[in-house]
Amino acid sequence: MTEHSVHGTITDLEQKVAQGTAERDEVLDLANAYRQSNQAGRAGELLDEYLHGVGPDWDACRLCVESYREAGRMEDAVRVLNRWASRYRDRAHFWTLRGLMLEEMGDWESALREYELAAGIAPHMAEAVYRRGVVLMHLERYEDARQAFNATLRLRPRLVPALINAGLTHEALGCPREAIESFERALAIDPESAEAHLNLGALYGEQGRLDEALEHCERALALDPNSSQAAFNAGMAIMDRDPDRAAHHFRRAIQLDPKNVGACHLLGAIAQRKGMWDTAVSLYRQVIETDPERLDSLFSMGVCYSKADRPDDAIRIFRQLLDQDQRNAEAWFYLGLSYDKKGDSRSAREAYRMADTHGRRSRREGS
């Protein structure tokens, strides 16, 4: 339906609603037209008022709640659903809708309870079983999540999101072969699934299958040009072989998501390899400003200052790092080098001693 025809539909149906002559289906059609024209809040208000007048109507209630959710008016969505709870509590779809709202509110444990109620009412309802798996993944209960996705796939063997999430749970449980099989099954059903290409490419990259990783990551990026993660993974796949091409992907990842600190850090690493110390320092600083806990970027910044013969800055950075990680032997060693460059032999010896102490301790713990 074109924008012009949607507007015409809205005008005609609004007149009927105002005159009180609109049939039930016409009210629902108007609500859907509002949603289609990015007026989800008006759709919710229309149906809210309609329900007040006519009483229980599950389709109208569900559409009202979904409209308020779409508009970001969660309190109104909860209010409407709770108003009819006693009427619809025997419906699995009621509990599934409550679960979706609780997911959006970040209340994962409560969402899990609602999906379990839905699955108890309708054991063959794939949506409830699938959403239960999604919540279990968020709760990092990966084995339970895997079982939930497998149960979903027994109900709907061609449900691509379930295959992708099953792959992710296999990966989280240390089963890469099973993960690859799940992603490949997803692509056999939907070759245009950017998410399946993205995850398969990332997994191939971790296994050192870099050509295949690049192929899938670039395919994901072609399918979803706004995916910062796809651009990042494509860069990762070729960073060692073609750093300039990798840098292009990392810059695109940052352009798509300025908070992609992984891409920013690796751009810094490429600049560092080329001896572009100031550029690398600037990139590492951006990472730390976004994520102060990225100690790898802080360490690399200190190394760049040391390589650039800026010992005072290097000392400041390594001291800042050691305030957060006193057992970092490499940081102590580079701190010693920086003191040596300043001619402070006494401080350098103490830093080297600490590097040796923590290095030996690290070797003992690793043995």
pLDDT in tens, 32-55: 999 988 999 999 999 999 888 888
Tell whether 186 and 95 lie within a shared domain.
yes
Confidence of residue 367 (pLDDT cuts 50, 70, 90): very low
- Name the one residue in this structure whose structure tokens are 């305030």: 323
- Domain-terminating residue out of 190, 208, 224: 190
Confidence of residue 21 (pLDDT cuts 50, 70, 90): confident
| Chain centroid offset of residue 64 CA | 28
Q: How many CA atoms, within 13 angstroms, populate the side-chain half-sphere of residue 34? A: 24
Quick one: CA dihedral 323, 324, 327, 329, positive or negative?
negative
- Each residue of 127-181: pLDDT tens digit? 999 999 999 999 999 999 999 999 999 999 999 999 999 999 999 999 999 999 9
What average pLDDT does this structure show over 213-239?
93
- Domain-terminating residue out of 190, 222, 238: 190
The answer for residues whose C-beta is within 8 angstroms of residue 75's C-beta and 6 or more apart is: none
- Domain-terminating residue out of 161, 190, 219: 190
CA pair distance 164, 186, nearest whole angstrom: 7
In a domain, 312, yes or no: no
CATH code for the domain of 28: 1.25.40
**What integer pLDDT is reported at residue 109 of this predicted model?**
95
* Residue-number span of the structural domain to which 75 is assigned: 1-88
In a domain, 267, yes or no: no
Q: What is the number of structural domains in the chain? A: 2
Confidence of residue 85 (pLDDT cuts 50, 70, 90): confident
Q: Are 204 and 233 in contact (CB under 8 A)?
A: no
**What integer pLDDT is reported at residue 366 of this predicted model?**
47
Tell whether 173 and 162 lie within a shared domain.
yes
Tell whether 83 and 95 lie within a shared domain.
no
CATH code for the domain of 157: 1.25.40.10
Quick one: CA dihedral 48, 49, 53, 57, positive or negative?
negative
Q: Between the CA of residue 9 and those of 46, 71, 95, 115, 355, what are the distances in Å?
A: 15, 21, 33, 37, 74
Does residue 255 have a pLDDT over 80?
yes
Question: With b meaning 16 or more CB within 10 Å and e meaning fewer, what string describes 108-139?
Answer: beebbbbbbbbbebbeebbbbbbbbbbbbbee
